[in-house]
């Protein structure tokens, strides 16, 4: 990982230190320059001391062009397995150019004259563009050879593991492909109509009901598990035992959402994070990144009513719903009762796109008589699980179907009494 000054690095870094993520190595590009000028204009933090307080190992490299010092720092970082490592590298921005060490090298093109001067500094032909020295190309190609050898070694190692532990190997391969266990959806519970309960409570019941069927599910809340109900029971803390599935993110909404994205991008897990809906504002940069990357990042936001009340206007979400629905690529659900929460959960745990679920904190009576209001488009056919109503129709219990149309882009739209959301493009219907 590479990092520069600012940009909310502190939340995720503090969490990594608390969790003792010894495989994490971050390079801090300490070039003393920001876009406006010297960092001293606005930034006087002692970054190494801050990271030491986060339980990180800190290694300083005085010259970013000293390759031997960099290699030694990386070796020391790999040797530390109980803490993440920050390698603080003093560099010169725009090194070799006439604008070196200034903010002019940060936010604007060098220009033809400065480019020519930079080429001369490095001994490159001044009349050639995109010039690649032969020795540099040869060195880079050695990296490809090393990578091929590492891949071959890994495949041989896994083949031996697969022969010794075929069932565990099959589970690993399934999870890495992003596939769920066959029949996992049968573990999703249904709820008797007429029983009043907060949908966040129903969400907690659903989470624990599918826990065994979806072992790759992992996550938690930003210091709100007792309120959002996103906790496995029984279940160990990931901090205490790496096999645990409960991650206590602390009051770090952005760090939580960023960590969820990282786990989703890595693959093999179905990660989620949760907090109050109004605090989705803190998560916003990571939500946008999830939508841009199109990874299976799942976010559960509870207490979505403007009438939550007891915590006052600072906790009453007003504009957040409109804001999240405006993010391209983010699928947004707002279930109105427990069975709708179960239906949306079916899509959430099986989809491959980022999504947010507003599991409301208010109490609602279940209107649906169907076993599960599962509304989806599959290979051009409409299927409404449990109630069996045609698309677009509604049974007397209030279960809504799914309207599907063909066109240049096939879309599915789910309607309920409180909201309308749009599912992502369906590749099979294009």
Q: Which residues fall within 8 angstroms of residue 421, CB to CB, at 6 or more apart? A: 325, 331, 332, 333, 334, 413, 414
Report how far residue 89's alpha carbon sits from residue 210's, in angstroms, rounded to the nearest whole number. 46
Report how far residue 179's alpha carbon sits from residue 130's, in angstroms, rounded to the nearest whole number. 43
Report how far residue 135's alpha carbon sits from residue 123's, in angstroms, rounded to the nearest whole number. 13
Report how far residue 169's alpha carbon sits from residue 164's, in angstroms, rounded to the nearest whole number. 9
Helix (H, G, I), strand (E, B) or coil at 194: coil
Helix (H, G, I), strand (E, B) or coil at 379: coil
Q: Which residues fall within 8 angstroms of residue 387, CB to CB, at 6 or more apart? A: 368, 369, 370, 373, 395, 397, 399, 401
11, 185, 216, 253: which is the annotated catalytic residue? 253
Strand boundaries in 127-184, DSSP class E: none
310 is annotated as an active-site residue: no
Whose tokens are 């029983």? That residue is: 195
CB 10 within 8 A of CB 59: no
Report how far residue 112's alpha carbon sits from residue 126's, in angstroms, rounded to the nearest whole number. 10
Report how far residue 72's alpha carbon sits from residue 68's, in angstroms, rounded to the nearest whole number. 6
- CA-based nearest residue to 221, from 283, 132, 163: 283
Report how far residue 91's alpha carbon sits from residue 89's, in angstroms, rounded to the nearest whole number. 6
Tokens of 41: 């204009």
Tokens of 80: 């530390």
Question: Residue 207's CB: how many other CB atoms inside 10 A?
Answer: 23
Q: Which residues fall within 8 angstroms of residue 272, CB to CB, at 6 or more apart? A: 217, 218, 219, 230, 260, 297, 298, 299, 300
Whose tokens are 């040869």? That residue is: 138
Q: Which residues does the annotation mark as catalytic? A: 253
């Amino acid at each position: 990982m590479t990092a520069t000054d600012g940009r909310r690095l502190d939340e995720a870094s503090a969490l990594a230190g608390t969790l003792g993520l010894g495989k994490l190595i971050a390079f801090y590009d300490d070039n003393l320059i920001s876009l406006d000028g010297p960092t001293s204009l606005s930034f006087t933090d002692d970054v190494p001391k801050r990271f030491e307080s986060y339980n990180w190992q800190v290694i300083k490299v005085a010259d970013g062009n000293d390759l031997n010092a960099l290699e030694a720092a990386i070796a020391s970082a790999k040797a530390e397995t109980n803490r993440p490592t920050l390698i603080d590298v003093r560099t010169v921005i725009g090194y070799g150019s006439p604008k070196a060490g200034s903010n002019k090298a940060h936010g604007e093109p060098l220009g033809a004259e400065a480019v020519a001067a930079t080429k001369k500094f490095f001994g490159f032909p001044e009349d050639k563009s995109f010039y690649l020295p032969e020795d540099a190309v040869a060195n880079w190609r050695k990296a490809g050879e090393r990578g091929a050898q590492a891949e071959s070694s890994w495949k041989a190692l896994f083949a031996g593991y697969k022969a010794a532990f075929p069932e565990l190997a099959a589970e690993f391969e399934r999870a890495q492909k992003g596939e769920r266990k066959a029949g996992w959806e049968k573990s999703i519970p249904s709820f008797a109509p007429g029983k009043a309960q907060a949908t966040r409570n129903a969400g907690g019941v659903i989470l624990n009901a599918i826990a065994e069927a979806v072992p790759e599910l992992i996550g938690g809340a930003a210091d709100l598990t007792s309120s959002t109900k996103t906790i496995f029971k029984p279940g160990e803390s990931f901090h205490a035992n790496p096999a645990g599935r409960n991650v206590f993110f602390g009051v770090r909404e952005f760090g939580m959402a960023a960590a969820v994205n990282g786990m989703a991008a890595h693959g093999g897990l179905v990660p989620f994070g949760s907090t109050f809906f109004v605090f989705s504002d803190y998560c916003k940069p990571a939500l946008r990144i999830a939508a841009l990357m199109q990874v299976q990042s799942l976010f559960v936001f509870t207490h979505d009513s403007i009438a939550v009340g007891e915590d006052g206007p600072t906790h009453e979400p007003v504009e957040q719903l409109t804001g999240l629905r405006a993010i391209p690529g983010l699928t947004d659900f707002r279930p109105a009762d427990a069975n709708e929460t179960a239906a949306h959960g079916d899509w959430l745990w099986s989809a491959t796109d980022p999504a947010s679920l507003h599991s409301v904190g208010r109490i609602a009576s279940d209107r649906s008589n169907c076993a599960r209001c599962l509304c989806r488009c599959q290979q051009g056919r409409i299927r409404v699980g449990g109630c069996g109503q045609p698309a677009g129709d509604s049974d007397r219990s209030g279960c809504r179907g799914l309207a599907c149309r063909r066109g240049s882009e096939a879309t599915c739209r789910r309607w309920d009494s409180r909201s309308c959301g749009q599912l992502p493009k369906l590749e099979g219907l294009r």
